């Protein structure tokens, strides 16, 4: 933001945006002007840094940042009083406060409303006058583009698709027919929303395509990473609920449902008809088998294969070395009984100890 914002102004804006759920206490000069955000080790006097990991306490004590946001506990451990030239911002959730502040300091540019002369827009499409359609974008008949939405250069919005207000469709995105992208969503370049799901029926050694007639329905405030693919439903819809965040190169197959505010890291693959709960976290390259469900609030470690439903919230992980399948099955059976085997070994050791002492 040109000219920056004072620390006091940032705190006021964030408190109002979060309806006082993210209030902060300013220790030091609230009139200090902040022009940007930077890592704690390299931040300068006109920049904001944050401390959310105790490993960086030493760096925080020596920072040259103009302001630093941190928890009350970290503040008490590091600073008995504000260091010269540094304003402290004490907050219960410093990382979140920093994220809101960074948004205020570097707002996304708003392109000029209107349709570029090089775009191809069907006469039956409904484009809000406040929306922006970039060069070489294509919008087919009966598609809807909401107020202040942005359709980037070379993007495609298919027949009857809906793009919500304030959504940002980056250059080179494909949103296929009848699919829905909610308000304030961000869809990054190369993403494909609504390609056919992988549906084929075997017949006499060949495969017969099953028409994929469902949609992809994406809620509000969702972010879809670059080159991520979300397949349309075979008959019903594939659904991504409000507030989900999907990283780059994620594959979501047909008829999946991803619960609200779930985050999914890069290269995760989710097979057809899987249901992921609300508030879950899926680590990079995790593989989720089809036709299963994962409970709300689960954390799945990177590289983990989820082959059956998870009904209890918790942190799950597992990476097994590559081996011939027959050996893997045998070893997996042993792993399931490790607790049992441990108890038997301990019992045998106790028996041997008794014999040795008699």
Distance CA 353, CA 344 (A): 14
For residues 307 and 290, what is the distance between their CA atoms, to the nearest angstrom? 8
Q: Which one, of 61, 121, 122, 117, lies nearest residue 88 by Cα?
A: 61
Q: Which of 254, 315, 325, 337 is catalytic?
A: 254
Give me the tens of pLDDT residue by residue for the chain, a chain 358 residues long. 556 999 999 999 999 999 999 999 999 999 999 999 999 999 999 999 999 999 999 999 999 999 999 999 999 999 887 788 899 999 999 999 999 999 999 998 889 999 999 999 999 999 999 999 999 999 999 999 999 999 999 999 999 999 999 999 999 999 999 999 999 999 999 999 999 999 999 999 999 999 999 999 999 999 999 999 999 999 999 999 999 999 999 999 999 999 999 999 999 999 999 999 999 999 999 999 999 999 999 999 999 999 999 999 999 998 776 788 888 888 888 888 889 989 999 999 988 888 777 6
Q: Look at residue 153 and give its three-state secondary structure.
A: coil
Give the residue ranges of DSSP H helices in the chain: 7-17, 57-61, 72-78, 94-105, 325-336, 338-357
Cross-strand pairs, 306: 288
CA atoms of 352 and 147, how far apart (whole Å): 78
Confidence at residue 2, expressed as pLDDT on a 0 to 100 scale = 53
The pTM assigned to this predicted structure is 0.88
254 is catalytic: yes
Which tokens belong to 252? 């979501």
Count Cβ atoms below 10 Å from residue 93 Cβ, excluding itself: 16
What's the alpha-carbon Rg for the chain, to the nearest Å?
Answer: 26
The residues facing 316 across adjacent strands are 300
CA distance 37 to 108: 15
Lookup: tokens for 342 = 């441990």
């Amino acid at each position: 933001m040109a000219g920056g914002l004072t620390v006091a102004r940032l705190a006021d804006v964030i408190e109002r945006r979060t309806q006082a759920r993210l209030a902060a206490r300013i220790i030091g000069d609230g009139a200090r002007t902040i022009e940007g955000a930077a890592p704690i080790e390299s931040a300068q006097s006109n920049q904001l840094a944050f401390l959310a990991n105790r490993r960086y306490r030493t760096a925080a004590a020596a920072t040259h940042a103009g302001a630093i946001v941190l928890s009350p506990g970290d503040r008490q451990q590091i600073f008995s009083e504000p260091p010269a030239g540094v304003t402290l911002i004490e907050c219960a959730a410093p990382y979140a406060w920093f994220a809101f502040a960074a948004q205020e300091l570097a707002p996304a540019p708003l392109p000029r409303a209107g349709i570029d002369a090089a775009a191809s827009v069907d006469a039956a499409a409904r484009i809000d006058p406040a929306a922006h359609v970039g060069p070489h974008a294509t919008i087919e008949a009966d598609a809807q583009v909401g107020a202040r939405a942005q359709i980037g250069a070379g993007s495609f919005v298919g027949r009857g698709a809906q793009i919500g207000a304030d959504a940002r469709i980056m250059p080179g995105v494909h949103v296929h027919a009848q699919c829905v992208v909610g308000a304030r969503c961000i869809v990054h370049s190369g993403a494909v929303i609504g390609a056919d799901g992988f549906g084929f029926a075997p017949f006499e050694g060949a495969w017969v395509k099953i028409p994929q007639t469902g949609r992809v329905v994406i809620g509000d405030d969702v972010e879809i990473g670059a080159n991520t693919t979300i397949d349309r439903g075979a008959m019903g819809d594939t659904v991504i609920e409000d507030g989900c965040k999907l990283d780059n190169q994620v594959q979501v197959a047909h008829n999946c449902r991803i619960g609200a505010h779930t985050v999914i890291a890069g290269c995760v693959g989710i097979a057809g008809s899987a249901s992921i709960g609300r508030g879950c976290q899926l680590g990079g390259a995790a593989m989720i088998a089809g036709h299963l469900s994962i409970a709300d609030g689960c954390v799945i470690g990177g590289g983990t294969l989820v082959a059956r439903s998870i009904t209890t919230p918790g942190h799950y992980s597992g990476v097994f070395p590559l081996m011939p399948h027959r050996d893997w099955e045998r070893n997996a059976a042993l792993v399931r009984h490790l607790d049992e085997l441990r108890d038997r070994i301990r019992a045998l050791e106790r028996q041997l100890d008794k014999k040795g002492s008699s």
